[in-house]
């Protein structure tokens, strides 16, 4: 509760006077006032206090006056008291010894007859954050929770959580959680109830890590009696507390459909609430409750559409931003949902850029056959009409839509019109898109080439655009009659070309051109190789050398490497796994949606909420390395306009390939090999060469890991013996598990049931983990909250290397478990599944 | 955790901390200041930046700007972003209520009250009470006039959190304004690409005690429920939202809007109408550029509503090149002037009756030499502002507004209608 940390503020504004003399002066005045009984003493005190606080705010160190301030604290004036509390709160942490001085008067104020003073004193007392004063805190808190004034109870409820953060044991020993819970279910004041809930969630979540009892308590928070009790009172809560209760309700697992409908009927009117945060929270409840009922889930989408669209249009740009982030997530799950409302996402001139950007993303996401024409028309207006970054974004958006659609006829025309606009950045962006389009739709090459051929390379300054143009010159040199000469003139200006990316493209393009039109290009080729060999950039140099030696070795081979037959690209990379998307959806209405990543990626462990899975699991879901890649890939997508993954000449390919998602069927690997042989920046790239295979299927990815020495063994196991026995001590590290899970196809999906005793005894993940271990099935990660748990198990066949991987989601309320089994040896999966289920069904019976 | 924020900062325009309140002790003001000033430096304009930023050290900053002040929260937890951003706006409202206007000066002058307010609006990072009316009973602006004995206001502890008991007025009055803003977007081919109407019922209540209010509207759904004919005047509103004081269950059942109003002004209800509307004021502009030396504008504005209505304070902003000089402007009605700070010509017509057409011609000189590598210009649309009193696009009507209080006083309800331009953009140039 420190309003300013003096040192921080001071160093931030070094020009501030140190105020030493002023502090001394204030001290003097305070000392005089301390004993004064003059009639105007209160007014004077208030005046001096105000000056102290103003010095403090300005960053002057006033801690020297601590003693005097405490002396003067005996006053009945509330404002003076407030200032005094403020002062004490700011300095107690830095001066724990002095803080002891304040305890006395704070404790006395906690017993004041005025509830306002009781409340304020209690709040200050709890906010001192000095560990050795904890003993003085417990009694005022316990009495505070029973105070006749709701104001004091409300402060005491939050105070309990503050105490927990200072000293967990003190809080638990005083049995405060139990009092909070009792208060939550009985207090007539809504804010007291809400604050109890806040505190209980915090305390039990943190406590659950080392106590099973706390884990059970969390479960009771999400139980029917508590949730229904709070929901029935929902109208009494403030808007912010309503969000809290709704968040709780979204975690509730109804036992039957009637409960679902009861809740939805009860909350229907919340969708009309003026506060957008309440509306979003309600939407979360509806979506999560109806997950299992496909029809109703769809109806929910229909129902929430209108409120969401209003929120986008009305209110502050910040709110539009938050809502648009959520809409984007929803559209990913239900693309048809907003396809007829595309006009709501047209940009206004006055929208801030961050809103415009999200709107463009929405327009891209909802484009389909019926609305493409209008959306693209609108996007084309932005290309010439608004500020440059948004114009670029909208050109990219047009490109993305073109790559999604089957009928790209009209779009290609538009793109070509962009080229005629004769604006540098428009041309550059468009060239990159045309290049990508050509790779997907080679049938358009004639139309495009005709236009592209007219563009003078001298007018393009941006490396990306220039590289794209050069790529096209090389690729379609037989159709562009002056290609060799354009390339030649570019080579002449080799030294003026600053971007290594462009130089790399130029090398390859000249090579390609040479094999198509040898007599015209021969001279240019010589010049290029010479320039390349003397280039200072390592990659350029290496690639030139590679081409040179390749030509020396055998021109026919060189041609096969540089100009292989090409197939159109059909698959695009999805930067996010569906698991990741589900995880984000679980965290609907939080920062996860804004950042488009699950919360474990941006919060520290101790700040994670009660709803996330455990640390192990998060490591598992995305191994650290992969995690990096996903983020970079996302960033990449934002920053870059190259939409296709295995762009042969891109330097980022190495990292992408190791991401394991580079499974596109682009069949022109020789270029890639060429570049990686030379540049070989990452181990992954080197290994690509070693595999040498022309297709990067998941199979080759697999061996890729192998070659990287990551210890994955993929020797197919022999057909399984009828009875499957498991290795009693299999070893698998989380990283390998993660990779395998990503690579292996799903062998089996099954639902099975637990024994009722088993379900009842599953209070925390550990019990089941131990049980499964005794059956030679190891757990690699677990997490979740009652009644839903999620486990990842693995087992190894005895005497073989093949692993079985299981994702097991247990719902203790319904005593059901959902299994997803993946196996190195698919044939044995069935037998393993039987084994696993029998082990699971015995849980709780022993 | 439901996402508590760690601290709330009030920063000046350069990103320096004016006042801050540390709620959880896990972020540092210095770091926040350093991060935020860097952010401002980088972009020059915070507008470009999204209101949610991550600093790579596990701290999320969410901020809004108001005048020359940034209101910023720092959080280490996975917060409810929408709710926090909205909360910040509410904080601004509260400060505005206290200091008339929220700006650096008013914060510096009132830092004691600012601290008090920050304490009551949020505790341990959880939002608490944010109704200015309630807080102002609790925390007085003028410390010297404060009564010695203070008790927490009833509203903090009773079920009607938005209204305190014991309010007294000599004259009991209610003002209800039906305000509709028309958003329209016309593309460069003159097609209307998007149009909608956002309406709000704004109330100002000066009522004693705990009055029960009942409002009747000509909502189609309402009339159907009562079995009356629905042709003609009835309307259908999309997505209605109410102030928290309205008993929503009652509205769901029998479509009555009944409520105990907060004291003072508030938005009782907002709604949206997505049906296509004809642009109330249509503007056409022709621009001729003559060989880089001068530019000629001809702007035609036509009112497309009934003659009995009149638009007032019409303001048409036509973009002109930023290097234009020597304006020469003639209008058939109203006055027009060059507004170089907005790179536009602003044409104002005080009173614009329905079914009329006015003209404005203008000529500007352009410099004959232009920068070769000039930044590509940002082409703005024509923007229009207007107000049409006694008129609503939706045709919404207040049938009755009943006020019942147990003391039985007579209250006077005043109802006004007005339609105005919202985001009214014509990309005609």
This complex has an ipTM of 0.77
Domain count across chain B: 3
Q: What is the mean pLDDT of residues B33-46?
A: 74
Contact A43 B144 (CB under 8 A): yes
Residue pair B243/B266 in contact (Cβ under 8 Å)? The answer is yes
pLDDT band at B141 (very low <50, low <70, confident <90, very high): low
* Most distant CA atoms of chain B, gap in Å: 78
Residue pair B425/B184 in contact (Cβ under 8 Å)? The answer is yes
Contacts of A53 in chain B (CB under 8 A): 111-112, 115
Q: Considering the domain boundaries, does residue B168 fall inside one?
A: no
pLDDT attached to residue A285: 92
Q: Which of A245, A251, A232 is nearest to A197 (CA)?
A: A245
Residues B186 and B269 grouped into a single domain: yes
Contacts of A346 in chain B (CB under 8 A): 185, 193-194
Please give the Cα distance from A2 to A487 (Å, whole number): 66
In the predicted model, is pLDDT for residue A489 greater than 90? no
Q: Considering the domain boundaries, does residue B162 fall inside one?
A: no
In the predicted model, is pLDDT for residue A544 greater than 50? yes
Please give the Cα distance from B7 to A187 (Å, whole number): 29
Distance from A352 to chain B by nearest Cα, in Å? 6
Lowest model confidence (mean pLDDT) among A127-141, A444-458, B75-89: A444-458
CATH number at residue B231: 2.60.40.1170
Contact B126 A43 (CB under 8 A): no
CATH number at residue B64: 3.30.450.60
Residue pair A383/A395 in contact (Cβ under 8 Å)? The answer is yes
Residues B41 and B130 grouped into a single domain: yes
Contact B1 A607 (CB under 8 A): yes
Q: Which of A208, A218, A282 is nearest to A245 (CA)?
A: A282
Q: What is the mean pLDDT of residues B4-21?
A: 89
Q: Higher pLDDT residue, A4 or A167?
A: A167
What tens digit of pLDDT does each residue of A791-836 get? Answer: 888 888 777 777 888 888 887 777 788 888 888 777 778 888 888 8
Lowest model confidence (mean pLDDT) among A182-196, A832-846, B212-226: B212-226
Q: Considering the domain boundaries, does residue B331 fall inside one?
A: yes
Taking the alpha carbons at both ends of chain A, their separation in whole angstroms is 52
pLDDT band at A566 (very low <50, low <70, confident <90, very high): confident
Contact A607 B77 (CB under 8 A): yes
CA-nearest residue of chain A to B151?
A: A116
Fill in the DSSP letter of residue A13. Answer: -
Residues B266 and B360 grouped into a single domain: no
Residues B265 and B413 grouped into a single domain: yes
Please give the Cα distance from A120 to A210 (Å, whole number): 33
Distance from B58 to chain A by nearest Cα, in Å? 5
> Domain boundary at B157, B188, B211, which?
B157
Which residues constitute the domain of residue B320? 281-368+379-389
Which of A5, A165, A275 faces B86 most closely, judged by CB atoms? A275
Mean pLDDT taken over chain B: 82
Distance from B410 to chain A by nearest Cα, in Å? 29
Q: Higher pLDDT residue, B262 or B136?
A: B262
Please give the CATH number for the structural domain made up of A734-841: 3.30.310.10
Contact B244 A83 (CB under 8 A): no
CATH architecture of A6-235: Alpha Horseshoe (1.25)
Interface membership of A603 toward B (CB under 8 Å)? yes
Fill in the DSSP letter of residue B341. Answer: G
Residues B143 and B40 grouped into a single domain: yes
What tens digit of pLDDT does each residue of A826-846 get? Answer: 777 888 888 888 888 877 775
Distance from A269 to chain B by nearest Cα, in Å? 6
Strands B173-186 and B412-426: parallel
pLDDT attached to residue A574: 57
Each domain of chain A, given as residue ranges in start order, spans 6-235, 236-311, 457-543, 564-574+613-710, 734-841
Contact B58 A13 (CB under 8 A): no
Q: Is the peptide bond before A345 cis (omega within 30 degrees of 0)?
A: no
Q: Which two three-digit tokens encode residue A124?
A: 């200050």
Residues B397 and B265 grouped into a single domain: yes
pLDDT band at B92 (very low <50, low <70, confident <90, very high): very high
Express as a percent the part of chain A with pLDDT over 70: 80
Q: Considering the domain boundaries, does residue B426 fall inside one?
A: no
Q: What is the mean pLDDT of residues A705-719?
A: 41
Contacts of A5 in chain B (CB under 8 A): 22, 28-30
Which of B33, B159, B378 faces A236 most closely, judged by CB atoms? B159
Q: Which of A243, A321, A277 is nearest to B52 (CA)?
A: A321
Residues B194 and B336 grouped into a single domain: no
What tens digit of pLDDT does each residue of A754-770 get? Answer: 777 777 777 767 777 77
What tens digit of pLDDT does each residue of A615-658 get? Answer: 333 333 333 333 444 443 343 333 333 333 333 333 333 333 33
Residues B226 and B250 grouped into a single domain: yes
Express as a percent the part of chain B with pLDDT over 70: 86
Q: Higher pLDDT residue, B178 or A596?
A: B178
What tens digit of pLDDT does each residue of B337-394 get? Answer: 998 888 889 999 999 999 999 999 999 888 776 655 445 556 788 999 999 999 988 8
Q: What is the mean pLDDT of residues A208-212?
A: 80
Please give the Cα distance from B32 to B35 (Å, whole number): 5
pLDDT attached to residue A608: 56
Contact A274 B267 (CB under 8 A): yes
What tens digit of pLDDT does each residue of B327-338 get? Answer: 899 999 999 999
In the predicted model, is pLDDT for residue A700 greater than 60? no
pLDDT attached to residue A682: 38
pLDDT attached to residue A475: 86
Residue pair A684/A654 in contact (Cβ under 8 Å)? The answer is yes
Interface membership of A161 toward B (CB under 8 Å)? yes
Residues B134 and B56 grouped into a single domain: yes
Interface membership of A320 toward B (CB under 8 Å)? no
> Domain boundary at B157, B181, B196, which?
B157
pLDDT band at A575 (very low <50, low <70, confident <90, very high): low
Lowest model confidence (mean pLDDT) among A193-207, A381-395, A404-418: A404-418
> Domain boundary at B98, B124, B157, which?
B157
Residues B130 and B183 grouped into a single domain: no
pLDDT attached to residue B147: 39
Contacts of B380 in chain A (CB under 8 A): 349
Contact B119 A381 (CB under 8 A): no
- Output the CA torsion sign for B365, B371, B372, B377: negative
What are the Cα distances from residue B360, in Å, to B101, B335, B349? 37, 9, 11
Q: Considering the domain boundaries, does residue B57 fall inside one?
A: yes
């Amino acid at each position: 509760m420190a309003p300013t940390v003096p040192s921080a503020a001071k160093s931030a504004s070094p020009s501030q006077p140190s105020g030493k003399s002023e502090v001394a002066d204030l001290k003097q005045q305070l000392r005089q006032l301390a004993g004064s009984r003059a009639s105007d003493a209160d007014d004077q005190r208030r005046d001096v206090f105000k000056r102290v606080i103003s010095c403090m705010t300005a960053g002057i160190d006033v801690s020297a006056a601590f003693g005097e301030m405490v002396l003067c604290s005996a006053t009945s004036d509330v404002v003076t008291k407030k200032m005094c509390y403020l002062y004490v709160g700011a300095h107690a942490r830095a001066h724990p010894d002095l803080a002891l001085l304040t305890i006395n008067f704070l404790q006395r104020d906690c017993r004041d007859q005025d509830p306002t003073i009781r409340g304020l004193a209690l709040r200050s007392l709890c906010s001192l954050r000095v560990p050795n004063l904890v003993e003085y805190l417990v009694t005022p808190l316990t009495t505070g929770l029973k105070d006749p004034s709701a104001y004091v109870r409300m402060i005491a409820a939050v105070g309990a959580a503050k105490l927990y953060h200072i000293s967990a044991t003190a809080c638990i020993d005083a049995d405060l959680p139990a009092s909070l819970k009792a208060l939550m279910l009985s207090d007539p004041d809504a804010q007291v109830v809400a604050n109890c809930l806040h505190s209980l969630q915090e305390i039990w979540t943190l406590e659950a890590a080392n106590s099973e009892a706390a884990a059970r308590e969390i479960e009771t928070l999400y139980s029917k009696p508590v949730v229904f009790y709070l929901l029935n009172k929902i109208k009494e809560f403030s808007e912010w507390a309503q969000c809290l209760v709704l968040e709780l309700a979204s975690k509730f697992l109804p036992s039957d459909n009637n409960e679902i409908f009861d809740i939805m009927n009860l909350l229907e009117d919340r969708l009309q609430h003026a506060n957008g945060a309440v509306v979003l929270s309600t939407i979360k409840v509806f979506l999560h409750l109806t997950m299992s009922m496909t029809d109703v889930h769809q109806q929910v989408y229909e129902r929430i559409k209108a409120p969401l669209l209003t929120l986008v249009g009305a209110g502050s740009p910040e709110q539009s931003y938050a809502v648009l982030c959520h809409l984007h997530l929803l559209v990913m799950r239900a693309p048809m949902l907003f396809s007829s409302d595309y006009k709501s996402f047209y940009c206004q001139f006055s929208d801030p850029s961050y809103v415009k950007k999200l709107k463009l993303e929405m327009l891209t996401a909802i484009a389909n056959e019926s609305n493409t024409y209008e959306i693209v028309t609108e996007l084309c207006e932005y290309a010439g009409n608004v500020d440059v970054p948004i114009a670029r974004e909208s050109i990219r958006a047009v490109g993305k839509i073109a790559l999604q659609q089957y009928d790209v006829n009209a779009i290609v025309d538009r793109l070509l019109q962009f080229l005629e606009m004769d604006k540098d950045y428009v041309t550059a962006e468009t060239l990159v898109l045309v290049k990508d389009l050509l790779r997907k739709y080679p049938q358009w090459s004639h139309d495009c080439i005709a236009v592209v051929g007219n563009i003078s390379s001298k007018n393009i300054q941006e490396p990306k655009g220039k590289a794209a143009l050069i790529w096209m010159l090389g690729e379609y040199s037989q159709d562009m009659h002056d290609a060799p000469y354009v390339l030649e003139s570019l080579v002449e200006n080799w030294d003026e070309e600053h971007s290594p990316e462009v130089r790399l493209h130029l090398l390859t393009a000249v090579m390609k051109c040479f094999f198509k039109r040898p007599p015209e290009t021969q001279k240019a080729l010589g010049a290029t190789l010479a320039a390349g060999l003397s280039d200072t950039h390592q990659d350029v140099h290496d690639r030139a050398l590679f081409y040179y030696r390749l030509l020396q070795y055998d021109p026919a081979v060189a041609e096969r490497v540089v100009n292989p037959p090409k197939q159109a690209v059909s698959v695009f990379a999805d930067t996010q796994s569906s698991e990741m998307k589900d995880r984000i959806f679980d965290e609907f209405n939080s920062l996860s949606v804004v950042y488009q990543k699950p919360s474990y990626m941006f919060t520290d462990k101790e700040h994670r909420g009660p709803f996330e899975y455990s640390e192990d699991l998060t490591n598992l879901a995305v191994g650290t390395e992969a995690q990096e890649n996903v983020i970079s890939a996302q960033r990449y997508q934002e920053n870059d306009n190259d939409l296709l993954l295995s762009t042969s000449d891109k330097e980022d390919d190495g990292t992408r390939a190791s991401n394991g998602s580079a499974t596109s069927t682009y069949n022109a690997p020789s270029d890639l090999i060429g570049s990686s042989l030379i540049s070989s920046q990452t181990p992954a790239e080197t290994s690509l060469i070693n595999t040498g295979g022309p297709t990067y299927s998941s199979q080759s990815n697999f061996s890729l890991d192998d070659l990287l020495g990551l210890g994955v063994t993929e020797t197919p196991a022999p057909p399984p013996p009828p009875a499957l026995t498991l290795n009693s001590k299999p070893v698998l590290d989380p990283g390998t598990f993660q990779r395998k899970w990503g690579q292996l196809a799903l062998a089996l999906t099954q639902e099975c049931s637990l024994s009722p005793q088993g379900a009842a005894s599953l209070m925390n993940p550990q019990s089941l983990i131990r049980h499964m271990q005794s059956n030679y099935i190891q757990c690699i990660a677990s997490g979740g909250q009652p009644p839903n748990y999620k486990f990842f198990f693995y087992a190894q066949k005895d005497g073989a290397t093949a692993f079985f991987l299981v994702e097991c989601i247990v719902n203790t309320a319904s005593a059901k478990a959902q299994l997803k089994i993946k196996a190195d040896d698919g044939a044995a999966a069935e037998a393993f599944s039987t084994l696993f289920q029998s082990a699971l069904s015995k849980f709780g019976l022993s | 955790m439901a996402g508590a924020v760690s601290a709330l900062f009030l920063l000046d325009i350069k990103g320096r901390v004016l006042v801050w309140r540390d709620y959880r002790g896990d972020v540092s003001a210095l770091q926040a200041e350093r991060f935020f000033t860097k952010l401002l430096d980088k972009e020059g304009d915070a507008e470009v930046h999204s209101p949610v930023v991550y600093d790579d050290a596990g701290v999320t900053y969410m901020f809004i700007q108001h005048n020359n002040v940034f209101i910023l929260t720092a959080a280490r937890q996975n917060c409810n972003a929408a709710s926090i951003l909205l909360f910040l706006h509410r904080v601004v409202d509260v400060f505005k209520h206290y200091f008339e206007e929220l700006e650096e000066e008013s914060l510096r002058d009132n830092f004691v009250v600012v601290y008090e307010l920050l304490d009551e609006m949020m505790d341990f990072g959880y939002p608490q009470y944010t109704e200015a009316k309630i807080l102002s009973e609790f925390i007085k602006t003028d410390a010297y006039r404060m009564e010695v004995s203070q008790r927490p206001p009833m509203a903090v502890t009773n079920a009607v959190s938005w209204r305190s008991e014991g309010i007294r007025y000599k004259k009991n009055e209610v003002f209800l304004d039906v305000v509709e803003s028309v958003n329209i977007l016309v593309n460069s081919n003159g097609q209307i690409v998007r149009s909608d109407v956002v309406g709000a019922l704004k109330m100002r209540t000066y009522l004693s005690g705990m009055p029960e209010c009942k409002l009747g509207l000509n909502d189609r759904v309402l009339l159907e429920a009562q079995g009356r004919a629905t042709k003609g005047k009835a309307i259908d509103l999309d997505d209605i939202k109410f102030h928290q004081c309205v008993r929503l269950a009652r509205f769901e059942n029998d479509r009555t809007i009944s409520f105990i109003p907060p004291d003072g002004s508030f938005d009782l209800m907002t709604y949206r109408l997505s049906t296509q509307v004809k642009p109330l004021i249509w503007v056409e502009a022709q621009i001729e550029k003559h060989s880089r030396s001068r530019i000629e504008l001809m702007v035609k504005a036509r009112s497309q509503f009934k003659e009995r209505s009149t638009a007032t304070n019409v303001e048409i902003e036509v973009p002109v090149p930023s290097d234009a000089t020597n304006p020469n402007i003639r209008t058939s009605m109203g006055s027009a002037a060059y507004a170089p700070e907005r790179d536009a010509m602003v044409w104002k017509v005080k009173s614009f009756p329905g079914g009329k057409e006015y003209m404005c011609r203008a000529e500007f000189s352009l410099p004959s030499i232009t920068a070769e590598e000039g930044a590509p210009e940002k082409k703005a649309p024509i923007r229009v502002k207007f107000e049409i009193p006694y008129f609503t696009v939706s045709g919404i009507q207040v049938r009755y507004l009943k006020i019942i209080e147990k003391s039985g006083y007579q209250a006077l309800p005043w109802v006004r209608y007005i339609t105005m331009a919202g985001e009214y953009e014509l990309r005609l140039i």
